Structure 1
């Protein structure tokens, strides 16, 4: 009897193909069906199910669905096979409906099932939470055990403003997995990191710094001038010593004292040259310090004009600073 029903499912394929099917689709569907049955008999269930599913997609047919249900059963896709038998129990030819219903009932004890419930804290988000099973949206409010093929699945729940929740579902034959989605944790926004504003330098602080710099430079220059003056005094003292060695007149120096007098003159000349250099450098530093001081910015900026010019007179030379501050 069982063998006769199987043959009935197989032979029903050709007779049940709708007349409206495109000729080319019908030809390909028949070729895929024959290939699927061949692989099914050979035990190559993966290839067999693929060919039978493709055939049924081209030309939906009760005979093809029955063969595909048997293939899915052999492949371990219990829920997929059960769904096909349940459909055929309502849509197959009347003579085959009882067999389809019996096959569906036979698979029911083996069905893996899952049921989803929302924890009390998550119930308030029932309308806004989105739940997916391997990327396919499901309704979490329907807490009825749902058949599913054996395997591992990823269940995700997310809602705007809340951290995502993920669960690994392992479906096992004959077992019902109850999954409770907990209250989702709200995302706490991190406070913005405040970047300290850069220090603002006011004109008053600039003015003070310029004054300090000017006074420091001028003071350093003054110290150098003092040192230059000291060397100038040393030079004059050594020159006077040379004159004393020669009896007060270097031009008429005693030949026996010329060597000693010449050494003192050379030493006086070196000290004098050093005094001159130090005095010039110190004077320039003093002038620079004065310029820095008088050109320091005011709280109320105003036009400044400074000029430095050399001055030559009968007793020596110098610098003249003029302008408005």
Structure 2
């Protein structure tokens, strides 16, 4: 694999497994736990704290390497919630899952929520804004010393679709993520703890999402592991509709998501973020077996 000069840290890097994350020897599977009333595919289902904790334990039992707890919807058009509400939704769930031995991450754009969740036992901060939504996030993550997922992001949910304009989407995303890496390093975030996410569905049209999936090897030249969050998203529904399956609601896209998980794992993704953990876990296991067979030939 070629090395690249990482301008953020001034040395050659190759994508490696970041410090502080599980290492099962295959693509990781992150289970989605939305503790919100308005998420795009399962809003309200796990809004009750006790129900959310039970679901987190269920995801872990199904084999999730990480359970990602989020208290603010980032679906297109979603309105933000205040920090107090997001804290009330997420911290009790994070605390109880961590006490039960579950490897927990917090899905938030807000530094106060990230800080409280880490104090409650979260071991990863998953920030869909890559630090752009809250200028204190980078310093918070740096001080906490936990791994950090920085996603490609251009605007908040209510306006992100207006920003879906690219030349070469892969080149544009690489350039913007490289800029974020530089800024994160300046603010003290350990480069060895950064995972990048190309941001499928965030300010992107279906053709952009497919180009990014096909371009994972190019994205890996940034020198950081990649998280792919495709589960149930619009581009999957659009592809199914174009193939003659008709209009498939988000909850009906899990089988197609499994196929995308396998594609992402074969393409070199470090982690896939999904609603249906068990099936995607099988998919990434098959991808690992396939990669091993290629190695032997």
Work out whether the TM-score is over 0.5.
no
Larger helix percent: 1
Of structures 1 and 2, the one with the larger relative CO (CA 8 A, separation 6+) is 2
Scaled by the length of structure 2, the TM-score of the pair is 0.23
Larger Rg, first or second structure (1 or 2): 1
TM-score under structure 1 normalisation? Answer: 0.22
